[in-house]
Amino acid sequence: MQTSAQTQQDTDNDQNKNQGMVVSIICAVAVAHLLNDLIQASLPAIYPLLKDNFALSFAQVGLISLVYQMTASLLQPWIGLYTDKHPKPYLLPLGMIVTLCGIGLLAIAPSFTVLLMAAALIGVGSSTFHPEASRVARVASGGRFGTAQSAFQVGGNTGSAIGPLLAAAIIVPNGQIASAWFMLFAFIAVCVLFKVSHWTIHHAHKWVSNSAASTAHKLHGKTLLRALIVMSLLILAKFTYIASLSNYYTFYLIEKFHVPLQHAQLYLFAFLAAVAVGTFAGGPIGDRIGRKAVIWISFIGMVPFALMMPYANLLWTVIFTMLAGMILSSAFAAMVVYAQEAVPGRVGMVAGMMFGLMFGISGIAAAALGVLADTHGLEWVFKLCSFIPLLGLLTAFLPKTNGKA
């Protein structure tokens, strides 16, 4: 049986490589990811504006993130699990339409409660997008799974970097109502995703190939449980640290260095752009040297910069955060592909779990860090978070999933 499974895997891989990567589809889902995450990044980017408009505490700011992140996370594994067996490609544009409605509500929200409703709608749209779009990227990868996942991810990270920049240019000077302009980006994404859905319908045999993936390198029993626990802790470390910067970096720079809000948004853009660069590198490198090696490098390599950042001046704070973000971000594509190799045949479910954990942990971390910032101050929070990357040492306990892991 093992030999038969290995033969099936070799056949599937040969077919994928012969077909080659469908670059146009990879680019389409990357562009859609860019637009999706650009919209999502506009929400934390205008937290200072919303905080002033509605007289919010840091805890309430964290609650907005929590509502968005939890709605974005809880549905994803279930959507992925269901569509592994019953593909629903038109969920992609339909989910983006829900996001479009959330942006419109955000623009006209008259109260904190309505802000939470808008955040929830944006989160629901995200929960339908990520597992399905990640699956499309894998189907179109031509066997270069890490490269395809990295390209998909870098689209999202690029959008996350551009979002705060556009928010600083459009929303901050013109007020909350100006966020309605971001509905245009959602509409463009809907159009792109209808094209992607049309492609997936005409390549249904590849969906079947994914669901029938080889079990040659599948992990079982205690080994699988250990891998999932360690991976969950690594995701906890990665996205708690990222949440501290993406949600509170602008507040930190304003409080400690007294920089104007728009300048702080530019520094946030620099950090998020560095994250995009790191994400782009992680997937192809993982295809060559293995997923586990990339995870090792990403955590251990950024520890010195994370530890030094809270004690640096403005210039070195910006440099250290960019270096830390770039190195740490190289891990996520490798993490996703590692998990898909550990649990083959459940591409959508695994992607949903990974992205769900990402959003859930980010939301919980944002809320918890907001409470800590209210009680202990932002500088104390950033000193605490500087030790989180040390959890990357747990990578030593990840089992191998294939020869390069």
The C-alpha atoms of residue 198 and residue 366 are separated, in whole angstroms, by 37
Spell out the CATH class of 10-397. mainly alpha
Is the distance from CB of 253 to CB of 264 less than 8 angstroms? Answer: yes
310 DSSP 8-state letter: G
Q: How do residues 55-65 score in pLDDT, each as one tens digit?
A: 888 888 878 87
- Tell me the chain's radius of gyration from C-alpha atoms: 20
Q: What are the two backbone dihedrals, phi and then psi, of residue 216, each rounded to the nearest 5 degrees?
A: -60, -35
| Residue burial 8-31, b: 16+ Cβ < 10 Å; e: rest | ebeebeeebeeeebbeebbebbbb
The C-alpha atoms of residue 72 and residue 396 are separated, in whole angstroms, by 30
The C-alpha atoms of residue 267 and residue 47 are separated, in whole angstroms, by 15
Q: Is the pLDDT of residue 214 over 50?
A: no
For position 116, what pLDDT does the model report? 92
Is the distance from CB of 343 to CB of 80 less than 8 angstroms? Answer: no
Chain centroid to CA 210 = 22
Other beta carbons less than 10 A from residue 77's beta carbon? 22
The C-alpha atoms of residue 65 and residue 249 are separated, in whole angstroms, by 14
Q: Is the pLDDT of residue 9 over 80?
A: no
Computed over every residue of the chain, the mean pLDDT equals: 82
Q: How do residues 258-312 score in pLDDT, each as one tens digit?
A: 999 878 888 988 887 888 788 878 778 877 888 888 899 899 998 999 999 999 9
Element (H, E) at 38: helix 23-45
Helix ranges restricted to H, 202-313: 204-211, 221-257, 261-289, 291-308
